[in-house]
Structure 1
Amino acid sequence: ALPYKRRLFASLVEAAVKGASKYKIPVTVKMRVGIDSQYETYLDAGKIAADLGVAWVALHARTAAQLYEGKSDWSKIKNLVEHLAPTGIPVLGNGDIWSGSDAIEMVKTTGCAGVVVGRGCLGRPWLFADLVAAFNGQEIRALPNLFEVREIIYRHAELLTQYFSSEDRACRDLRKHMAWYLKGFRVERELRAKFGMVSSLLELRQLLDQLVDQPYPVAIGDAPRGRTSHGRAVSLPDGWLNDPDELVAVDGEDSGSGG
């Protein structure tokens, strides 16, 4: 919803680019197509961001109102690529990238310079290896068996522990990833429930060692994952749609996610 307020959006992007430039950090603007089908803002917002010096513009090809409903509309990405071509600013595509072949298809279809992965890598960090292989013209896919996945899970927990400097916090964060990691594998319900309550690396190791090895479940494991919620009307601050050129200050209590 923010890009609808063009002046406000521009002021925020300008401040981000200016602040990051001190440290020579490039800025990427990522946005959706718009609030809904009536208020599509991506072309104007993309041009504003490009003119203000961002390095990349990334587009999730759904509106905020759609959330994750249905298929993303890759034609919007193509439109943005063409719209920003005179600026020289590259566009990144986002939405429904579940495999390396999806990424290649998006680039071929839209002309975007690259892809942004969201839900596709949940519980599948090896997807990035598949993407690298696909863009290098290699028909190589990572299909880890369950024993390989369990070691990835444990390494994930170790890295989280280093990041948070807290084993307890790391394990609590890991819980939300367990269903994604184990998607499609045959794991007893009781054991799945225990993974959802894990609180230490030792406990995690003990639970992982109870898993029975099995091949990667391609049909289920590679299927769409993450949030698939139906669309809904976007909640906006009072008067938000009155004037797109109004420079407003949004109170913290009025701000929220548009999906």
Structure 2
Amino acid sequence: MAGITNRAFRRLCRESGSVGLAAGGVSGATSLYVSEMVTSRALVERSTESMRLISHDPQEHPRSVQLYSVDPVTAGLAARMLVSEDRADHIDLNFGCPVPKVTRKGGGAALPWKTGLFRSIVAAVVREASPYSVPVTVKMRVGIDAEHITYLDAGRIAEAEGVAAVALHGRTASQAYSGQADWSAIARLKEAVTSIPVLGNGDIWSAEDALEMVRQTGCDGVVVGRGCLGRPWLFADLAAAFAGSQVRVRPGLREVTATLRRHTEYLVDFYDGDEQRACRDIRKHIAWYLKGFPAGSTVRHQLALVDSLQALDDLIGTMDLDSPWPGEAAEGQRGRAGSPRVVALPENWLRSRELDEAQAAQVAQAELSVSGG
């Protein structure tokens, strides 16, 4: 969700969820909205973009930061900064990213293969966060590929090192976002990890999908990624569904475009008043918001080139805003899917579950200096 779950989008999800909960008569339901992936090295160096990514609205609680690292020392320093400076109420460790520039350095979904390194990073972050009562969670995938499965070992290690919960995306890194998530792996992890919550992730496009995942796997909760693209109100649906309500948010085009417009305004604020940058950012969201609606190819193309709030307003004004929720046409997959691939890895990475000297030296220099995926 790099480039998606910034402060602006999280605010929109919180607000959309609150409105939906009130309308559905659901109380006491809360969601946790996690930041984009922040690189521990860049955070320790206090890069401008990393500091922007860990910024939160005053009303945002709990404040959740997702941390990426391949080095225990740097991971610990980043965690210490977050908790000692009161910048986070929750830290999520990302061991699930399948992006080549991450796995090529031994990070993301590649890292749990090296069990000692994985343990050291988790232990370092938990050690720094614990005195401040900041919970640490771990997000991971099934493994690198079908021949190199890591999730059961990683889940047990994380549990032993004191994390508050583990979340599993039911795909390997080699699958990226293709095919179907293997929910049965989530069920097996739930059987193996018994003292902390196990959360499920993968192919949750609707509240009904979330209920079915819990039914099939026995998991303690769900993690939503691509399912909320263009659907910030999904969290209201989830809360209602888990509370036993049948109420679902089904906005017409007028409500959807109003949400799109508000999202852009929040991006302007996120980018310190830079309207052009905000409009460049919102372009990738437009197809997700309008999926299934009769917007027309010309308007869609023009929206993908929008460069100001006025231009956005003008184009929205040309659409049939009385169009109702399009039903099935609006449902299902959004965002990238791709196809299976060979995972980019450091040299000889799969030879052993432990780091050799050359790999240890390579990993020590491998921290990404840029946050956000």
TM norm structure 1: 0.93
Q: 2:340 aligns with which of 228, 231, 235?
A: 231
**Structure 2 match to 1:186:** 294
User: CA offsets per residue over residues 85-129 of structure 1, 9 Å max, x none?
Assistant: 1xx111110001011111011111111110000111101111111
Instruction: Spell out the pairing of 1:1-259 with structure 2 (5 A cutoff).
Output: 1-85=110-194, 88-165=195-272, 166-213=274-321, 214-246=323-355, 248-249=360-361, 250=363, 251-252=365-366
Q: CA deviation at 1:80?
A: 0.4
One-letter code aligned to 1:141: R
Amino acid of the residue matched to residue 189 of structure 1?
Answer: S
CA–CA separation in structure 1 for the residues paired with 2:276 and 2:368: 33
In structure 2, C-alpha distance between the alignment counterparts of 1:254 and 1:242, rounded to whole Å: 24
Is the CA contact 1:31–1:58 (under 8 Å) kept in the aligned structure 2?
yes
Task: State the alpha-carbon separation in 2 of the partners of residues 220 and 194 from structure 1.
Answer: 22
CA distance in 2, matches of 1:134, 1:209: 34
Determine the C-alpha separation between the residues in 2 that align with 1:201 and 1:17: 43
Q: Which amino acid aligns with 1:167?
A: E
- In structure 2, how many angstroms separate the alpha carbons of the residues matched to 1:27 and 1:209? 46
Moved more, 147-156 or 215-224: 215-224
Q: TM-score, normalised by structure 2?
A: 0.65
Q: 3-state DSSP class of the match of 2:231?
A: coil
What is the percentage of aligned positions where both structures have the same residue?
Answer: 55
* Higher share of residues assigned strand: 2
**What letter matches 1:98 in structure 2?**
W
Quote the offset at 1:253 in angstroms: 8.6
Q: Secondary structure at the match of 1:107?
A: helix
* Rounded Cα–Cα distance in structure 2 between residues aligned with 1:157 and 1:15: 38
Alpha-carbon offset, residue 69 of structure 1: 1.7
Change (3 A) 1:69 1:89: same
* 1:237–1:254 Cα contact (<8 Å) kept: no
1:29 is paired with a residue whose SS is strand
CA positional deviation for 1:188: 2.2
In 1, the alpha carbon distance for the partners of 2:182 and 2:229 equals 22
- Equivalenced residues, count: 254
Deviation at 1:254, TM superposition (A): 9.6
Residue identity in the other structure for 2:175: Q
* Secondary structure of the structure 1 residue equivalent to 2:354: coil
Measured against aligned partners, the alpha-carbon deviations of 1:13-48 in whole angstroms (never above 9, x if no partner) come to: 122222333543211110100001111000000111
SS in structure 2 at match of 1:35? strand
Counterpart residue type for residue 283 of structure 2: R
The answer to whether the 8 Å contact 1:68/1:229 transfers is: yes
Which stretch has the larger CA shift, 202-211 or 97-106? 202-211
Task: Label 1:15 to 1:150 Cα distance change in 2 as closer, same or farther (>3 A).
Answer: same
Report the Cα distance in structure 1 between the residues aligned to 2:247 and 2:123, rounded to whole angstroms. 41
Aligned counterparts of 2:245 and 2:166: Cα–Cα separation in 1:
27
- RMSD over aligned CA atoms reads 1.8
